[in-house]
């Protein structure tokens, strides 16, 4: 078992703490936080994990952590690490996480709060009946044959849009990587992963995953919000989920492969959960091909849920697609490893950027974001908790100079799930949420107890750090009015 | 000294869920782990052990075998909506764990499901024997 050690933290600027290089660290660690958040961060093992990631072969510049950092499997949640394949850089499943391409998408509508407030219970009931949630949730659409699934794994959201009619070309344009990560190869995926994936396209799962209807209640950048089709009172939908059992199985299968690879390539690690292989090795290449399949599964999953959501809104409200105007603002992944070109000491280098609980946040002008968004920057979706608010941000220039184009992904938990359950004893949680103006439907009340607002940090503290550091700017805030959960 | 009794208890973990398990031997440790996992996922007390399913897993270490054993039990739930209540027979022998688990298919009228599990992790897991008592900690990613 790895030894947990205290790490030295030095404040180097208003929003950045550094862990100096010691021992086998190849680069320093760097944590973005406010003094208040840092007091919370220091309570768990995550700074130690930031230091551990700095040991990875080929890591460039620094092992980074966003302000919503907390303990994770090997890597901290909220961690960013870029490795250079030409310098022996590695890829690590622990740097991506079990839920490959877990991510969030936000859709705007032409509806205002006044249009839905008297129908919100009906709307949430209908969404809950249409989008499968909870353990073993399946059959949102007819189970795919193994052949169909393999095609989906290569084509991602393109498959469900172009072959199944579950969306539009505009949806694809507003999805990171167009909803299709290159390099996917189903031949390196296990039969068990295929079996687990066939029935689950279009399902939410449980844990912290959700579908939320919210209203824009504060606008920070009116011009940018306007370009995204949002003004005060606009109804939006947030969808948070990932690659379901398929992605979990891919991660699990490759942890065994990587554990053997660490021995084969003589890689010395402070924690065996950082198991990895050189990007250019057969093991590294296979993992990246399988991971791309899972990333594509997740985009197809969120796209299918989007289609079900549009159908449900139209049925419940008795309106057509143009009156609904439910357009995808953007879809981002926050558990992924991707090849991206970044400037390192004045030279462009092709790096393998791991984002585990971190979101890409490219600024205005970047040619890697769609033309329709290029003059404002890439939207970033940061869910808070189901009682308070979530934020839509936009990438700022500081992301490319400080964080390999990355920012935060959520609020981060303040209370363990067990403690949250204890807190909920004797309370009517659904009534409490209703008092806050939020209708909740869930497959299990235990999940509601674990996910209550008091279990989470205030996400505004997290997004303010990244705005202060010049990494991402706040565009608008969404107040939830209805949520479905697993 | 009396032989230690097998048992389990849920432990605190910030983002995920976990449990500690202890038992007088390795077979019983695997059986107790099934009960602990079942209680995280659903109301185990409501499950009637009227059917049996056979499971067999291979692994290079105690930890790998325990992770795969629990994954196999969890997949009965995820794939077949079949709820394990306990273990009928179990044998840990060399690189294999094989056994029969008792339970029944999910019935929405009688069974309450809790939280879906993404993975049984290896985080801080060590299957060890101290003074005749086997013990381990299992963290599950939710």
Catalytic residue among A70, A342, A354, A409, which?
A409
Q: Which domain holds residue A479?
A: 10-485
Chain B residue numbers with beta carbons less than 8 Å from the beta carbon of A486 are: 115-116
Q: Tell me if A2 is assigned to some domain.
A: no
Cα separation of A132 and A200, whole Å?
Answer: 9
Residue A11's pLDDT is 97
Q: Tell me if A335 is assigned to some domain.
A: yes
Is A122 one of the catalytic residues?
Answer: no
Q: Tell me if A4 is assigned to some domain.
A: no
Q: Tell me if A1 is assigned to some domain.
A: no
Q: What is the pLDDT of residues A3-57, one digit of tens each?
A: 456 799 999 999 999 999 999 999 999 999 999 999 999 988 899 999 999 999 9
Taking the CB of residue B56, how many other CB atoms lie within 10 A of it?
12
Q: In this complex, which of B16, B114, B126 lies closest to A446 when CB atoms are compared?
A: B114
Min Cα–Cα distance to chain A from B55, Å: 15
pLDDT (average), residues B98-114: 96
Residue A4's pLDDT is 54
Residue B83: pLDDT over 90: yes
Report which of A267, A280, A332 is spatially closest to residue A85, judged by C-alpha positions. A280
* Burial call A262-290: b when 16+ CB within 10 Å, e when fewer: beebebebbbebbbbbbbebebbbbbbbb
Termini Cα distance of chain B? 39
Structurally, chain A folds into a number of domains equal to: 1
Instruction: Judge: A135–B119 Cβ closer than 8 Å, yes or no.
Output: no
Q: What is the pLDDT of residues A103-114, one digit of tens each?
A: 999 999 999 999
Q: Tell me if A246 is assigned to some domain.
A: yes
Q: Tell me if A442 is assigned to some domain.
A: yes
Residue A1: pLDDT over 60: no
Chain A residue numbers with beta carbons less than 8 Å from the beta carbon of B42 are: 135
Report which of A251, A253, A284, A252 is spatially closest to residue A267, judged by C-alpha positions. A284
Residue B87's pLDDT is 96
pLDDT (average), residues A190-214: 94
Min Cα–Cα distance to chain B from A134, Å: 6
Q: Is A312 on the interface with B (CB under 8 A)?
A: no
Q: Is A45 on the interface with B (CB under 8 A)?
A: no
When pLDDT is cut at 50, 70 and 90, the band that residue A137 belongs to is confident
Question: B7-141 has which fold?
Answer: Archease, Possible Chaperone; Chain: A; domain 1 (3.55.10)
pLDDT mean across residues, chain B? 93
pLDDT (average), residues A235-260: 96
**CA–CA–CA angle A279, A285, A289 (5° rounding):** 130
Q: Tell me if A77 is assigned to some domain.
A: yes
H or E element that contains A231: none
Residue B44: pLDDT over 80: yes
Instruction: Judge: B122–A255 Cβ closer than 8 Å, yes or no.
Output: yes
Residue A370: pLDDT over 80: yes
pLDDT mean across residues, chain A? 95
Chain B residue numbers with beta carbons less than 8 Å from the beta carbon of A248 are: 118-119, 141
**What tokens were used for A115?**
């249009």
């Amino acid at each position: 078992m790895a030894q947990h050690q205290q790490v030295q933290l030095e404040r180097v600027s208003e929003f950045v703490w550094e862990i100096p290089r010691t021992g086998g660290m190849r680069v320093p660690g760097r944590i973005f936080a406010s003094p208040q958040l840092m007091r919370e961060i220091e309570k768990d093992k995550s700074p130690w994990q930031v230091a551990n990631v700095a040991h990875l072969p080929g890591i460039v510049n620094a092992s980074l952590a966003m302000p919503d950092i907390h303990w994770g499997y090997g890597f901290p949640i909220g961690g960013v690490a870029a490795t250079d394949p030409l310098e022996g850089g590695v890829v690590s499943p622990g740097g991506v996480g079990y839920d490959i391409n877990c991510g969030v998408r936000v859709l705007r509508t032409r509806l205002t709060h006044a249009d839905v407030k008297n129908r919100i219970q009906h709307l949430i009931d209908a969404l809950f009946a249409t989008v499968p949630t909870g353990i073993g949730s399946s059959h949102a659409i007819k189970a795919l044959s193994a052949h169909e699934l393999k095609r989906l794994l290569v084509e991602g959201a393109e498959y469900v849009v172009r072959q199944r009619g579950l969306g539009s070309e505009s949806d694809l344009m507003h999805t990171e990587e167009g909803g299709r990560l290159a390099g996917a190869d189903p031949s390196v995926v296990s039969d068990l992963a295929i079996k687990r994936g066939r029935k689950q396209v279009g399902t939410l799962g449980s844990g912290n995953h959700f579908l939320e209807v919210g209203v824009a209640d504060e606008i920070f950048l009116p011009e940018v919000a306007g370009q995204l089709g949002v003004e005060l009172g606009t109804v939006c939908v947030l969808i948070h989920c990932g690659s379901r059992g398929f992605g979990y199985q891919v991660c699990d299968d490759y942890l065994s492969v990587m554990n053997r690879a660490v021995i084969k390539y003589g890689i010395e690690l402070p924690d065996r959960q950082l198991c990895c292989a050189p990007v250019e090795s057969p093991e590294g290449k296979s993992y990246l091909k399988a991971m791309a399949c899972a990333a594509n599964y997740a985009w197809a999953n969120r796209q299918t849920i989007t289609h079900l959501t549009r159908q449900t809104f139209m049925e419940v409200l008795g309106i057509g697609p143009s009156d609904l105007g439910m357009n995808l603002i953007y879809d981002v992944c926050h558990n992924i490893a991707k090849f991206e070109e970044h400037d390192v000491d004045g030279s462009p280098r092709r790096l393998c950027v791991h984002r585990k609980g971190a979101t890409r946040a490219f600024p205005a002008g970047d040619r890697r974001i769609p033309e329709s968004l290029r003059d404002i920057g890439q939207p970033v979706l940061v869910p808070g908790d189901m009682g308070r608010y979530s934020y839509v941000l936009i990438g700022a220039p500081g992301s490319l100079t400080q964080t390999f184009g990355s920012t935060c992904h959520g609020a981060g938990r303040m209370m363990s799930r067990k403690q949250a359950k204890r807190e909920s004893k004797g309370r009517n949680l659904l009534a409490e949420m209703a008092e806050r103006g939020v209708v909740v439907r869930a497959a299990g009340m235990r999940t509601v107890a674990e996910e209550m607002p008091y279990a989470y940090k205030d996400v505004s503290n997290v997004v303010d750090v990244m705005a202060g550091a010049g990494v991402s700017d706040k565009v608008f805030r969404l107040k939830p009015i209805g949520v479905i959960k697993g | 000294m009396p032989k230690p009794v097998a048992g389990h208890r849920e432990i605190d973990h910030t983002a995920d869920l976990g449990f500690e398990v202890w038992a007088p031997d390795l077979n019983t440790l695997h059986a107790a782990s099934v009960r602990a996992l079942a209680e995280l996922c659903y109301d185990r007390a409501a499950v009637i052990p009227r059917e049996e399913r056979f499971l067999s897993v291979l692994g290079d270490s105690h930890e790998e075998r325990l992770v795969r054993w629990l994954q196999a039990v969890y997949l009965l739930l995820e794939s077949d909506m079949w709820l394990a209540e306990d273990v009928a027979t179990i044998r840990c022998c060399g690189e294999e764990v094989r056994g029969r688990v008792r339970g029944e298919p999910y019935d929405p009228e009688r069974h309450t499901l809790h939280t879906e599990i993404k993975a049984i992790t290896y985080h801080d897991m060590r299957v060890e024997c101290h003074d005749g008592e086997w013990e381990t900690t299992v963290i599950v990613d939710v």
